[in-house]
Structure 1
Amino acid sequence: MARPPAVELRRRNRAAMLEQLHRHGPQTRAELTEALGLNRSTIATIASDLAESGHLQETTGRSTGSAGRPSTLVECVPKALAVAAIEIRADRVRFALIGLGGEVLERAEAALEAGAAAPEVAAAAAGLVGPSGAEAVAAVPGLVDAGTVAHSTELGWTDRDVAADLAAATGREWRVVDTATAAAVGEWSRGDAHEATKLLYLHGGRGLTAGLVVEGRAQRGGSIQLGHIVVEPNGRECACGLRGCLEAEMEAFGYAEDIEDATVAAGMGDAAARDALRRSGEDLGRALGAVVTATGPDEILFGGWLRELYLSAAAPVRSALAGTTLPHLRSRLRLRTPVLGDEGALTGAAETGFAALIDQMR
């Protein structure tokens, strides 16, 4: 049965206020009135409702700069709602329990044996997470769709239902997103990429992936196997069975292990290292051309070890990208490095969970 219009509107306003405070931090009622476009009495009613439910509290906040009393701020209660987020890597599982407003309540990690199978990884995650969090979200490197990892160079998994593995180990349901998409959500939500309508995040690990978010939201089909775009027909044989894949041409695994040595050597004048970085930058730019043409992002972030490659080979990346995309697609395109670094994926996994929880309130 449909809810009465007044109840529907009240729910939407509650969710909108909670989302505003979760994303932007403590605000006065006057600031909430302006941000949400609601009148003062509605703001007061909704704030009181959320305070009664334990989601919000009011505190004495900023000084007005005059002799009067400091303004009263409305803010989230972190422990009122939390998301259990994990990031799975080749050598470890990282966990964070993140509360409403973005506060980290708990943090832990567990080492993994090389080549650990999915059930072993899920068991390690279960040992970290326990019953914490109203929502559980995992970030996994690779091509991910509906909880299944179709292919992960980094983990060596193919067609693995990771959501089911985690559910079996923990006794709870999981959302699964790819690492690059999670990092994109994190950078949009908690970094400085919130002005991007379409944000493309490139992740360099032992494989190369990309994730596309639209206005900060993960999209089905936004998980991209960047490393298996063919950049050299009849090129090097790739572990996936194709030839000339970006991962094979760039020897991505070697870069994942030795990128710092390569960039230092190039900086010290090593001609071979400079040439290798240049060629890798060109290959990356050509692969990006295909992705940009297909998805039309307005910002690209280079994460993982691709950050170091981009900083060392920005010119060949940009030149090759320019040669493989239409002018109107690249004219508004910004290329840069992320600000959250290694925390991006874990932060974004949590923000994916909060988006789902707040949507349920509407």
Structure 2
Amino acid sequence: MALPPAVELRRRNRAALLEQLHRHGPQTRAELTEALGLNRSTIGALATDLADSGHLQETTGQSTGSAGRPSTLVACVPQSITVSAVEIRADRLRFALVGLGGEVLERSETALEEGADAMTAVAGLTRGTAAAAVAAMPGLVDEGTVAHSTELGWVDRRVAADLEAATGREWKVVDTATAAAVGEWARGDAREARKLLYLHGGRGLTAGLVIEGRAQRGGSIQLGHIVVEPGGRECECGLRGCLEAEMEVRAYAEDIERTTLAAGMGDGAARDWLRRSGEDLGRALGAVVTATGPDEILFGGWLRELYLSTAAPVRSALAETTLPHLRSKLRLRTPVLGDEGALIGAAETGFEAVFDRMR
């Protein structure tokens, strides 16, 4: 049954106000009026209503040194809405309970022994009544299913259903690279990018595309299984010449620091290995850039170290395989959130779902 227009509008405005404060931090009522395009009386009524419901609080801001009282700021109450965020890797599980406004209220990490049930481990960490629960994991993810994950060894695993069975609650599942992209856009310094492509190097290579900070269906990309050398080395997936096989990704995942250090000290074999890997990565990126047209590419996981050591061959190979108008606007760099990006992005994906439900 449809809500009366006035009630629906109020719901939308409440959600917009909460989202504005969650994304941008405490603000004055005047700043909220300008940001949301609502009049002062509407903002005042919404702020009072949300304060009464325990979602917002008003605090005194710092004085600017000029005459008059410091401004009164409207701020989120972190405990009023929480999201459970989990990052699953082959050897460990990371958890954070994140409150409204982005404050981390709880955090923990546990090792996963070989053969351990990740779902049971998640259930042991995520007790409580969070408004949403999101799990990030490496691989090709679509609608709650991990179609393929080199790192986890999963093929067509219905992870959302498995997590629901283990915990008794609904879960959203995203790939690690997409989650990290959301995190960098929301809490890092990538907000200027309309289309942001994040590359993640773990025991496999994945990529995630977000548009204006939102994950897209089809934005989870198996970067490691783009063929860069037809008829080349046999890959674990059954193809030949995949990026993961040509780069010998497992060796990099374990020894990237040693390899880059050796190259920096003049080891010719290490330099050649890095150069060839940079060229292969650039060629694979050419296909992805042509298909998706991003504004910015971030190199995360151990790909950060590889890119810092091989930026020239990566860029050269990318230029050879990409249309000029696509690469002319493209920025390539490393992320600012580091290893925290995926967990932060998983939480932000959960809050996005919460705000959508509120509208």
TM surpasses 0.5: yes
The aligned amino acid for 2:99 is G
Contact map agreement 1:150 1:158 (CA 8 A) in 2: yes
User: Residue 107 of structure 1 aligns to a residue in which SS?
Assistant: strand
Give the whole-Å Cα distance in 1 for the aligned partners of 2:111 and 2:129.
Answer: 20
Shift of 1:58: 0.3
Equivalent residue for 2:85?
85
TM-score, normalized by length of structure 2?
Answer: 0.99
RMSD of aligned alpha carbons = 0.8
1:95-143 deviations in Å (ceiling 9; x for gaps): 0000000000001111111244xxx100001111112411100001000
* Overall identity of the aligned pairs, in %: 84
1:270-312 deviations in Å (ceiling 9; x for gaps): 1111111000000000000000000110000000000000000
Shift of 1:353: 0.3
Match of 2:263 among 251, 262, 266: 266
Confirm or deny that 1:18 pairs with 2:18. yes
Confirm or deny that 1:104 pairs with 2:104. yes
Contact map agreement 1:97 1:132 (CA 8 A) in 2: no
Shift of 1:191: 0.3
Match of 1:160 among 157, 160, 172: 157
Match of 1:140 among 137, 145, 151: 137
1:143-189 deviations in Å (ceiling 9; x for gaps): 00111100000011111111111111111110000000000000000
Equivalent residue for 1:322?
319
Confirm or deny that 1:204 pairs with 2:204. no
1:224-260 deviations in Å (ceiling 9; x for gaps): 0000000000000000000000000000010000000
1:169-224 deviations in Å (ceiling 9; x for gaps): 11111000000000000000000001111000000000000000011001110000
Confirm or deny that 1:65 pairs with 2:65. yes
1:76-107 deviations in Å (ceiling 9; x for gaps): 00000000000001101100000000000001
The aligned amino acid for 1:104 is V
Give the whole-Å Cα distance in 2 for the aligned partners of 1:240 and 1:262.
Answer: 26
Contact map agreement 1:84 1:135 (CA 8 A) in 2: yes
Match of 1:301 among 277, 298, 305: 298
Give the whole-Å Cα distance in 1 for the aligned partners of 2:38 and 2:252.
Answer: 52
- In the alignment, structure 2 segments of 5+ residues that lack a partner are none
Equivalent residue for 2:346?
349
Question: Following superposition, which runs of at least 4 residues in structure 1 exceed 2 angstroms of deviation?
Answer: none
Confirm or deny that 1:244 pairs with 2:241. yes
Contact map agreement 1:110 1:128 (CA 8 A) in 2: no
TM-score, normalized by length of structure 1?
Answer: 0.98
Give the whole-Å Cα distance in 1 for the aligned partners of 2:103 and 2:330.
Answer: 32
User: Residue 144 of structure 1 aligns to a residue in which SS?
Assistant: strand
The aligned amino acid for 1:308 is E
The aligned amino acid for 1:144 is V
The aligned amino acid for 1:321 is L
Give the whole-Å Cα distance in 1 for the aligned partners of 2:171 and 2:154.
Answer: 18
Give the whole-Å Cα distance in 2 for the aligned partners of 1:360 and 1:286.
Answer: 41
Give the whole-Å Cα distance in 2 for the aligned partners of 1:29 and 1:10.
Answer: 17
Contact map agreement 1:229 1:246 (CA 8 A) in 2: yes
Give the whole-Å Cα distance in 1 for the aligned partners of 2:210 and 2:197.
Answer: 7
Shift of 1:62: 2.2
- In the alignment, structure 1 segments of 5+ residues that lack a partner are none
Shift of 1:7: 1.5
Shift of 1:3: 1.7
The aligned amino acid for 2:166 is A
Give the whole-Å Cα distance in 2 for the aligned partners of 1:50 and 1:65.
Answer: 30
Confirm or deny that 1:185 pairs with 2:193. no
The aligned amino acid for 1:192 is D
